[in-house]
C-alpha cells in the first residue's frame, strides 16, 4: 500500500510539473461559466492594477502542492466554509472570529490558512494592497482543482474583505454536517441560491481530501450502516477500530490525490465516507445527477465550475464595501501600525 501511494504521489508530482509548463498559456484554455455574477464582480477585474495576480498565485501554489498536495483539499474546504457563512468575505481567515473556533471549523488546516496569507504577501509586494484576501482564496480554490485535475476555469474577481464577524452559531446553521441527509443538504444550498445540480457538483469536491474517524463513526459503530458496502465497511473499521479512534480515511478510495469523477463512482458502489455523500445516491432526487456525473467527467467538471462560480458570488462585498486587508488574519482596524490601505485601494479602484 505504501509503495502504491508513493507511486501515485510521484505521478502527481510529474503531472504538476507538466501543468506548470503550461501556465503561460492557461488563460487561453479556461472554461468560463455562463452564469450571472454579482454586481461588482468581473472576469479580469485586476487587469489594470495587478494583471499578474493569477500567475503569482499559480506559481506559488505549484510549490505548495509539490510539497503537500493535501493542501489542495484544505484550500477547497476553506473556500466553501468561507462562502457558506456570511458570504465569500474572507471572514474564515480572521484569527479572532468565532467562526474559526466553532466545531464545524476546528478541523480546518492551519497550513491552508497560512498559504492564503503568504499569497497576500507575494501579491501585495508586487502590486500593492489592491487584491483582497477573499479573492486570493477564490483563486487558490480554483487552482487547487487545476493542479489536481488539469481542468481550468475562469473566476470573476472584485470581492472585498469583510469587517464583521459572523454571529455565534452561524457555522452550525449554514455548513453541511457529515451526517446530514440530502433534504438538509438541498435546503442549505437553496438558501444560498444554489440548486440540486450545484449541490451534487460541489459535493464532488470530496474527490480529494480526508475524513477523521469522528466524522463517520456513527456509520460503522456499533453496526454497519446498511447503505455501506461490506468490504468498504471492513476497511474503515481497520482505520477506525474504536468509536474514539483518531485515524483518517480518504474521501475517494479510487483516486484520493486526483480531482475527478471517481467520487461519484464510489457513491454508486456505496463507498461514500460521509452520510451526506452516500445519501446523494440513496435519495431518488439526486441519484440521477450522481449517475450522470459518474458517466461523464467533462460534464461534472463544467457543472462544478458553474457551481463554484455561483457559490463564489454568494453575499459578496464589492465596491466601497468592506476593505482590502493588509493581513488576511486580522481586520485593518485591529492593527495600529498598518498604513491606511483602504483609502489607497479606493484611489486605485477609482483609477481602474
Q: Is the pLDDT of residue 3 over 90?
A: no
C-alpha cell at 86: 456570511
Q: What is the mean pLDDT of residues 48-60?
A: 98
pLDDT digits (tens, 9 = 90+) for 331-340: 999 985 444 4
What's the pLDDT score for residue 335? 81
Q: What is the mean pLDDT of residues 144-149?
A: 98
Hey, how many other C-beta atoms are within 10 angstroms of the C-beta on 37?
Answer: 18
Annotated binding residues: 82, 85, 87, 89, 91, 99, 206, 252, 260
C-alpha cell at 273: 465516507
- Is residue 204 within 8 Å of residue 266, measured between CB atoms? no
The helix-helix angle for 110-127 and 53-67 (nearest 10°) equals: 150
What's the pLDDT score for residue 153? 98
- Is residue 332 within 8 Å of residue 323, measured between CB atoms? yes
**205 preceded by a cis bond (ω within 30 of 0):** no
Q: What is the mean pLDDT of residues 201-210?
A: 98
pLDDT digits (tens, 9 = 90+) for 254-299: 999 999 999 999 999 999 999 999 999 999 999 999 999 999 999 9
What's the pLDDT score for residue 62? 98
pLDDT band at 156 (very low <50, low <70, confident <90, very high): very high
C-alpha cell at 210: 480526508
The predicted model scores a pTM of 0.89
Domains annotated on the chain, with CATH = 42-209+251-331 (1.10.520.10)
- Is residue 275 within 8 Å of residue 179, measured between CB atoms? yes
Q: What is the mean pLDDT of residues 2-7?
A: 45
Q: What is the mean pLDDT of residues 141-157?
A: 98
Single out the residue of 70, 295, 80, 107 nearest to residue 216, CA to CA: 107
- Is residue 328 within 8 Å of residue 114, measured between CB atoms? no
| 253 Cβ neighbours under 8 A, 6+ residues apart | 232, 235, 266, 271
Q: What is the mean pLDDT of residues 215-242?
A: 97
Q: Is the pLDDT of residue 97 over 70?
A: yes
C-alpha cell at 205: 469536491
- Greater confidence (138 vs 12) lies with 138
**Residue entry with cell 482596524:** 333
Q: Is the pLDDT of residue 1 over 50?
A: no
% of the chain residues with pLDDT over 70:
87
Q: What is the mean pLDDT of residues 3-32?
A: 52
C-alpha cell at 345: 485601494
Residues present in the chain in total: 352
% of the chain residues with pLDDT over 90:
85
What's the pLDDT score for residue 200? 98
Question: Whole-angstrom Cα distance, residue 93 to residue 163?
Answer: 11
Lowest-confidence segment of 41-45, 96-100, 335-339 by average pLDDT: 335-339
pLDDT band at 94 (very low <50, low <70, confident <90, very high): very high
C-alpha cell at 216: 463517520
**Residue entry with cell 464595501:** 321
| 232 Cβ neighbours under 8 A, 6+ residues apart | 253, 269, 270, 271
Annotated binding residues for heme b: 206
**Chain-wide mean pLDDT for the chain?**
90
Q: What is the mean pLDDT of residues 79-102?
A: 95
pLDDT band at 17 (very low <50, low <70, confident <90, very high): very low
Residue 168: its H or E element: none
Active-site positions? 81
Lowest-confidence segment of 33-37, 67-71, 154-158, 264-268 by average pLDDT: 33-37
Amino acid at each position: 500500500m505504501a509503495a502504491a501511494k508513493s507511486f501515485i504521489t510521484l505521478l502527481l508530482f510529474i503531472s504538476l510539473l507538466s501543468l506548470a509548463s503550461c501556465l503561460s498559456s492557461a488563460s487561453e484554455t479556461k472554461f468560463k461559466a455562463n452564469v450571472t455574477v454579482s454586481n461588482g464582480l468581473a472576469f479580469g477585474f485586476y487587469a489594470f492594477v495587478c494583471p499578474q495576480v493569477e500567475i503569482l498565485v499559480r506559481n506559488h501554489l505549484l510549490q505548495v502542492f509539490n510539497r503537500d498536495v493535501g493542501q489542495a483539499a484544505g484550500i477547497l474546504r476553506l473556500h466553501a466554509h468561507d462562502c457558506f457563512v456570511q458570504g465569500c468575505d474572507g471572514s474564515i481567515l480572521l484569527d479572532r472570529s468565532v467562526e474559526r473556533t466553532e466545531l464545524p471549523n476546528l478541523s480546518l488546516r492551519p497550513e491552508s490558512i497560512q498559504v492564503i496569507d503568504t499569497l497576500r504577501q507575494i501579491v501585495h509586494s508586487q502590486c500593492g494592497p489592491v487584491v483582497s484576501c477573499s479573492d486570493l482564496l477564490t483563486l487558490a480554490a480554483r487552482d487547487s482543482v487545476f493542479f489536481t485535475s488539469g481542468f481550468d476555469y475562469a473566476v470573476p474577481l472584485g470581492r472585498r474583505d469583510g469587517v464583521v464577524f459572523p454571529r455565534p452559531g452561524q457555522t452550525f446553521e449554514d455548513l453541511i454536517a457529515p451526517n446530514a441527509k440530502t433534504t438538509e443538504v438541498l435546503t442549505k444550498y437553496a438558501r444560498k441560491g444554489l440548486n440540486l445540480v450545484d449541490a451534487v457538483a460541489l459535493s464532488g469536491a470530496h474527490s480529494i481530501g480526508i475524513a477523521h474517524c469522528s466524522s463517520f463513526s456513527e456509520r460503522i459503530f456499533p453496526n454497519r450502516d446498511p447503505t455501506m458496502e461490506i468490504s468498504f465497511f471492513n476497511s474503515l473499521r481497520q482505520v477506525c477500530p474504536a468509536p474514539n479512534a483518531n485515524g483518517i480515511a480518504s474521501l475517494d478510495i479510487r483516486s484520493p490525490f486526483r480531482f475527478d469523477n471517481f467520487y461519484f463512482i464510489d457513491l454508486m458502489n456505496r463507498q461514500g465516507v460521509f452520510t451526506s455523500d452516500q445519501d446523494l445516491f440513496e435519495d431518488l432526487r439526486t441519484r440521477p445527477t450522481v449517475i450522470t456525473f459518474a458517466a461523464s467527467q467533462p460534464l461534472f467538471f463544467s457543472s462544478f465550475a458553474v457551481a463554484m462560480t455561483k457559490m463564489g458570488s454568494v453575499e459578496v462585498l464589492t465596491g466601497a464595501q468592506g476593505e482590502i486587508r493588509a493581513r488576511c488574519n486580522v481586520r485593518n482596524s485591529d492593527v495600529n501600525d498598518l498604513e491606511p490601505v483602504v483609502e489607497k485601494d479606493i484611489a486605485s479602484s477609482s483609477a481602474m
